Amino acid sequence: MDECASLALAGKGFTKTNPIVGAVIVRDGKIIGRGWHTEYGKAHAEVMAIADAGEVRGADLYVTLEPCSHHGKTPPCVNKIIETGIKRVFVGVVDPNPVNAGNGLDILMEHGVEVFLGYREELCAALIEDFTKRILIGLPYYSLKTATSIDGKLATRTKDSKWISSSSSRAYAHYLRSVSDAVLVGVNTVIKDDPQLTVRDVHSENDPYKIVLDPHGRMPEGSKLEENPDKLIYVTEKGAETSASSRLRAKGANVLGISCINGSLDLRELSGKLIEMKIMNILIEGGGETAGSFFDADLVDKGYFVIAPKIIGGRDAVMTVTGKGVELVSGAKEMLETDIRHFENDILISGRFADYRRHVLDLTEKLRNRCSRGL
């Protein structure tokens, strides 16, 4: 199942609102076929693994997620499993989608396939947290990445920020982009840094969307983001046509009009629009105001905080998170667990602010007894 999970990750950034899934075919203790969901609308992991293996009659299938039982962009995977004579199926976790949850298991067993449920559940549930959030509440999964000094500054009082973090930390940031559907910043970041927000320093074919929040039409003409308008999503106030929105629309950018509340964009309304565009996994890279607005809206699901051992100081320096904030320490946003890594002299603290694994784990435990055997 660990091999299946590694394969699944190869689809990260390409499956849109579908979950990433990995699968292997095993015969006589040896892997004879591998597959993963490579791209939205294309064959699922099980079908890819079967094709890779060739003759699979009597073999075993291991898969991170319950095989689908419904017609979507592709036929049901359970049909292929049954038709090709797979003898046993080992499933990591149950599909949280109510359309399929448990149905795939039942159909396989009704056709004489032995099904074993509950293998490396924590790992498999973590693979699909973004998908689970979409299924449960219909919103994208937001990860926030920042790079700050040890005293919590994103930039100096003169707004200089190149470079607070090490080259290794910056390469990791590019990895995070490579596994995201979109990278989001506020217009202040565009004005100050003129970023490309592309994937560099790591090998990846994924080119995520670039989302710019600009409620008041301040996007500067000639920015690097305008060079690839097909991948630019420009978000501004609904009904407020500005020179920036007109210019970007004419160039072919995606221009979204979103309601404003007290001068700020309604981020939940925006989130619904992004899901409609099949953008499910979003990396927030904006400054303190952008980070604060997403925390204030209770939308940040995971955080990646790179801390460099440097002191910047200054009351006018740029803080990591601003926004409205909380009134009491008891209301602070707290990570549910943390992971600590080192990049040269930098420290990366990462962790979840919301945990969607539990729903999948509970569902898997509930349905164990339907299957041939659980662990």
In a domain, 340, yes or no: no
Q: Give me the number of domains the chain comprises.
A: 2
Q: Which of 337, 360, 361, 363 is nearest to 350 (CA)?
A: 337
CB half-sphere exposure, 44, CA atoms < 13 A: 23
The reply, when asked if residue 189 is annotated as ligand binding, is: yes
The reply, when asked if residue 339 is annotated as ligand binding, is: no
Distances (CA, A) of 48 to 51, 90, 185: 5, 16, 36
Bigger pLDDT: 75 vs 285? 285
pLDDT digits (tens, 9 = 90+) for 210-240: 999 999 999 999 999 999 999 999 999 998 8
Q: Same structural domain for residues 72 and 176?
A: no
The reply, when asked if residue 193 is annotated as ligand binding, is: yes
CB half-sphere exposure, 375, CA atoms < 13 A: 10
The reply, when asked if residue 121 is annotated as ligand binding, is: no
Q: Same structural domain for residues 238 and 121?
A: no
Phi–psi pair at 235, nearest 5 degrees: -110, 120
Which of 150-159, 302-311, 341-350 has the lowest average pLDDT? Answer: 150-159
Question: What is the C-alpha to C-alpha distance for residues 267 and 323, in angstroms, rounded to an integer?
Answer: 13
The mean pLDDT value for 195-208 works out to 87
Q: Same structural domain for residues 314 and 190?
A: yes
Q: Same structural domain for residues 10 and 157?
A: no
The rounded percent of the chain whose pLDDT value lies above 90 is 84
Total-model pTM: 0.92
Q: Same structural domain for residues 124 and 146?
A: no
Q: Give residue 373's pLDDT band: very low, low, confident or very high (50, 70, 90).
A: low
Which structural domain, as residue segments, surrounds residue 170? 138-325
Q: Same structural domain for residues 40 and 70?
A: yes
In a domain, 344, yes or no: no
Neighbouring C-beta atoms of residue 137, cutoff 10 Å:
11
Q: Give residue 375's pLDDT band: very low, low, confident or very high (50, 70, 90).
A: very low
Active-site residue, from 3, 46, 241, 276: 46
Q: Same structural domain for residues 260 and 160?
A: yes
Q: What is the longest distance spanned by two Cα atoms in the chain?
A: 70
Give the chain as a 3 state SS string: CHHHHHHHHCCCCCCCCCCCCEEEEEECCEEEEEEECCCCCCCCHHHHHHHHHCCCCCCEEEEEECCCCCCCCCCCHHHHHHHCCCCEEEEEECCCCCCCCCHHHHHHHHCCCEEEECCCHHHHHHHCHHHHHHHHHCCCEEEEEEEEECCCEEECCCCCCCCCCCHHHHHHHHHHHHCCCEEEEEHHHHHHHCCCCCCCCCCCCCCCEEEEECCCCCCCCCCHHHHCHHHEEEEEECCCCCHHHHHHHHHCCEEEEECEECCEECHHHHHHHHHHCCCCEEEECCCHHHHHHHHHCCCEEEEEEEEECCCCCCCCCEECCCCCCCCCHHHCCCCCCCEEEEECCEEEEEEECCCCHHHHHHHHHHHHHHCCEEC
Q: Same structural domain for residues 211 and 189?
A: yes
The mean pLDDT value for 76-100 works out to 94
Distances (CA, A) of 130 to 38, 77, 135, 179: 17, 22, 9, 12
In a domain, 351, yes or no: no
Q: Same structural domain for residues 304 and 245?
A: yes
The reply, when asked if residue 177 is annotated as ligand binding, is: yes
In a domain, 343, yes or no: no
Query: Is residue 46 among the annotated active site residues?
Result: yes
Q: Same structural domain for residues 142 and 257?
A: yes
Q: Give residue 71's pLDDT band: very low, low, confident or very high (50, 70, 90).
A: confident
In a domain, 337, yes or no: no
Q: Same structural domain for residues 194 and 285?
A: yes
**The predicted structure's pLDDT at residue 205:** 84
Q: Report the CATH number at residue 276.
A: 3.40.430.10
Question: What is the C-alpha to C-alpha distance for residues 200 and 348, in angstroms, rounded to an integer?
Answer: 20
In a domain, 342, yes or no: no
Q: Same structural domain for residues 149 and 292?
A: yes
Cα–chain-centroid distance for residue 131? 8
The reply, when asked if residue 68 is annotated as ligand binding, is: yes
Question: What is the C-alpha to C-alpha distance for residues 249 and 253, in angstroms, rounded to an integer?
Answer: 5
Is residue 165 within 8 Å of residue 339, measured between CB atoms? no
In a domain, 339, yes or no: no
Q: Report the CATH number at residue 117.
A: 3.40.140.10
In a domain, 226, yes or no: yes
Q: Which of 189, 215, 348 is nearest to 270 (CA)?
A: 215
Q: Give residue 175's pLDDT band: very low, low, confident or very high (50, 70, 90).
A: very high
Question: What is the C-alpha to C-alpha distance for residues 40 and 18, in angstroms, rounded to an integer?
Answer: 7
Is residue 338 within 8 Å of residue 349, measured between CB atoms? yes
